[in-house]
Amino acid sequence: MPKVLEKRKRVVLTLKQTVDICRRLERGESRQQLMAEYGVGSSTIYDIKSQTKKLRDYMKATDTPKAVENHHTLQYHRGEMMDKVLYEWFSLKKSKGVTITGPMLQEKGRDLAKKMGKEGACQFSDGWLHRFKVRHSIRKLDISGESKSANLPSAEEFVDRFAKIVKQHNLTSEQIYNADETGLFYCCLPRTTVASESEGDVKGFKQSKDRLTVLCCANMAGMHKVKLCVVGKHKKLHCFKNVNYLPVDYRNQRSAWMTAEIFLDWFKHCFVPSVKENLKKNGLPEDSKVVLLLDNCRAHPPAEELVVGNIFAVYLPLNVTSVIQPMDQGVIQNFKMNYCKSFLRKLVNYEDSTIPEFQKQFNVKDAIFMASLAWLDVKRQTLMRCWRKLYPLMMCDDEDDEEFEGFVGGMKN
């Protein structure tokens, strides 16, 4: 009976292995030895030898040869031209010492796709970003509020108490509000950058410490977002000249902090009128009861001062903010994510000069309008779902709504 030859397992060589074989053939190494070592046939070795020039040209044309070592073919990926233009933009910016982050690459990619008429051809997702960085040997480099320990027993006790308040006053989700402040370093750039493989440590730049305090307030129904209250350092700014309208309630304090006086004035002259208008819009009597839930801090006046008609405030216990404060359950984080995306989009499209010059030109007025749009972009689902820990009875109208997006990333306080 004739001996049956065992079929050799098919081997797909990487470009690195192919180039190594070319070099070893040029050094005069035996074909049989290479065939045995790589597990390929003689025809494969001959094919590789015949493509030596093409392989060399391909590797020379590649900006980062090491990035394609694990490729198996000489074919370029889809969207090669856009990818090449984006990498050239990245290289140009890095040569000028500009800090580039992953989100900035994604945003610039979207901008290029739009300009090249290929909008929608790529989602520029995190997966795309990872593959782009692998293709070009780009890595992340460091450029250079932790919450208080929560009082869980107090939080659990207040959950029961809050349910009783809602039942006692027969409140609907339209009549329950929460407000909370956050610091916004409105011109602060990310502290990490992406860099080419050949780069070592990256020179840092002076981070802007310009800060605004932003007060976010909305109701449990997620249908009424009160206009942002923004506290800055100066009352009269040059950038406000000839500006007849601001989309926020702007106040000033020399340290840009919220104070009890500012908060009380906001409560009486912004919050209350806005709530009454919303009650009227929803067909509810203007004298309906409304509760504003607040955390305990010095910037908030005593509860007895925060009463106008049937509109009153209720305070959370100490050290439960990170556990049950609704705005702290992803809403403020989502607002900052929206702001960060808009800020990076503006930065990426700023082609005229350096980052320090961009920081000088980006002013409080720009930040205010950008913050207002970021607040408008916070979705109703996000505002509703942030109440689930405090008020478990709160159910979304449609459980099939989009996933809650407030817990992903974001700018730090």
Residue 394 — pLDDT band, cuts 50, 70, 90?
A: low
Question: For residue 80, which amino acid is it?
Answer: E
The CA angle 351-356-361, to the nearest 5 degrees, is: 70
Q: Among 132-136, 144-148, 259-263, 332-336, which is the least confidently predicted range? A: 144-148
Q: What mean pLDDT do residues 232-241 have? A: 87
- Looking at per-residue confidence, does 273 or 340 come out higher? 273
Nearest to 45 by CA among 28, 55, 57, 32: 32
Residue 89 — pLDDT band, cuts 50, 70, 90?
A: confident
Whole-angstrom distance between the N-terminal and C-terminal Cα of the chain?
A: 80
3-state secondary structure 165-201: HHHHCCCCHHHEEEEEEEEECCCCCCCEEEEECCCCC
Residue 323 backbone phi and psi in degrees, to 5: -100, -50
Give pLDDT, residue 239: 87
Q: Is 292 helix (H, G, I), strand (E, B) or coil?
A: strand
Q: What are the structure tokens assigned to 19, written together? A: 């180039």
Q: Among 34-48, 112-126, 286-300, 397-411, which is the least confidently predicted range? A: 397-411
User: Residue 217 to residues 34, 168, 406: CA-CA distances in angstroms?
Assistant: 71, 23, 16
Cα separation, 366 vs 171, whole angstroms: 38
Q: Among 105-119, 222-236, 252-266, 295-309, which is the least confidently predicted range? A: 105-119
CB 386, CB 330: distance < 8 Å: yes
The CA angle 93-338-291, to the nearest 5 degrees, is: 155
Q: What mean pLDDT do residues 142-153 have? A: 58
pLDDT in tens, 64-77: 555 455 555 555 55
* Domain 152-385 fold: Nucleotidyltransferase; domain 5 (3.30.420)
Q: What are the structure tokens assigned to 210, written together? A: 């310009």
pLDDT beyond 60 at 217: yes
CB 112, CB 40: distance < 8 Å: no
CB 232, CB 252: distance < 8 Å: yes
Give pLDDT, residue 401: 42
Q: In the chain, what percentage of residues exceed pLDDT 70?
A: 76
Q: What are the structure tokens assigned to 153, written together? A: 């027993």
DSSP code at position 239: G
Mean pLDDT of the chain: 80
Q: Strand 192-196 to strand 176-184: parallel, antiparallel, or no bridges (unpaired)? A: unpaired
* Domain 80-136 fold: Arc Repressor Mutant, subunit A (1.10.10)
- Looking at per-residue confidence, does 44 or 168 come out higher? 168
- Looking at per-residue confidence, does 297 or 291 come out higher? 291
Cα separation, 346 vs 351, whole angstroms: 10
Residues sharing a CB contact under 8 Å with residue 5, sequence separation 6 or more, in sequence order: none
Q: What mean pLDDT do residues 192-201 have? A: 54
Q: Strand 225-232 to strand 212-219: parallel, antiparallel, or no bridges (unpaired)? A: antiparallel
- What residue ranges do the domains of the chain occupy? 15-68, 80-136, 152-385
pLDDT beyond 90 at 32: no
Which residue is associated with the tokens 């960085």?
A: 133
**Cα–chain-centroid distance for residue 253?**
29
pLDDT beyond 70 at 278: yes
pLDDT beyond 80 at 366: yes
Q: What mean pLDDT do residues 51-80 have? A: 60
The CA angle 367-372-376, to the nearest 5 degrees, is: 145
Give pLDDT, residue 87: 80
pLDDT beyond 50 at 408: no
pLDDT beyond 90 at 307: yes
pLDDT beyond 60 at 199: no
Give pLDDT, residue 43: 81
- Long-range contacts of the stretch 351-360 (C-beta < 8 A, 24+): 354/96, 354/97, 354/98, 355/98, 355/99, 355/189, 355/205, 356/205, 356/206, 359/187, 359/189, 359/208
Q: Is 369 helix (H, G, I), strand (E, B) or coil?
A: helix
- Looking at per-residue confidence, does 115 or 163 come out higher? 163
pTM of the model: 0.61
Give pLDDT, residue 261: 95
